[in-house]
Amino acid sequence: DKVYFIEQVAVEGGFRVNFAYGRRGATLTTGTKTENPVSEAVADEIFAKLKKEKMAKGYWEGAAVSGITSAPTQLAAVTDIQ
């Protein structure tokens, strides 16, 4: 059972798109798709593309969980039962 979380967060200077993934209940691997802040329009595109890629691989949108500590403007929790 794997999970993949995507968050779009407002930061000083723009927005960032971050992700976390791994097996449910284990320590998740984290990263960002935007090393530097980008405009909201660019962040929206990155977020949508990443979500689409994960859903094409068999993930589906689920509920957000308490593991995400920031206040994202967008959050997709995608899960894959395996």
> How large a percentage of the chain has pLDDT more than 70?
76
**pTM of the predicted protein model:** 0.79
> How large a percentage of the chain has pLDDT more than 90?
44
Residue 38 DSSP class: B
Instruction: Output the pLDDT for position 62.
Output: 73
**CA dist list (Å): 70 to 21, 31, 44, 52:** 16, 14, 17, 23
Lowest mean pLDDT across 29-33, 52-56, 64-68, 78-82: 64-68
| Cβ pair 18, 32 in contact under 8 A | yes
